[in-house]
Amino acid sequence: MNFIDEALSKGLKNDDFLQAMADIYNHPEVRECLDKYPQFIRDVITIIDYDTELSMEGLDFRDYSNEINALNRAGLKTEAELLSKVCDDNDTLNDVYDHLAINNDYDGFWDTVRAYIDNNISR
């Protein structure tokens, strides 16, 4: 049983489930079997990765389509729309970074992710 199975079996919700999913960094081998879990779990882990990458490396010139899809499904449509504007232009990149909710309304951002968890965990 891995940390995802354990969180599900314990019936964790909201922030407890979110914090449990951050264990992905302690058990990277679980990434190899993520496709057996519901989409919302994969989305939550993608969003955790997105937050970690932004805080450690900032926004970069790369394809953010996985993150954009996960953010859209989680209800963070404005964040996804901003992220879709990333291009090979430093001014645009800096403007997008400055306007991301994760940089301006961190609590609201994670409240939306927690609501996404709660809306999907019992299904």
**Domain residue ranges in the chain:** 3-121
Q: What is the pLDDT of residues 99-119, one digit of tens each?
A: 998 888 999 999 999 999 999
Closest C-alpha to 67, from 107, 76, 58: 76
The mean pLDDT value of the chain amounts to 93
41 confidence band (pLDDT: 50, 70, 90): very high
Q: At 24, list the tokens.
A: 């992905």
Q: Which residue has the higher pLDDT, 76 or 87?
A: 76
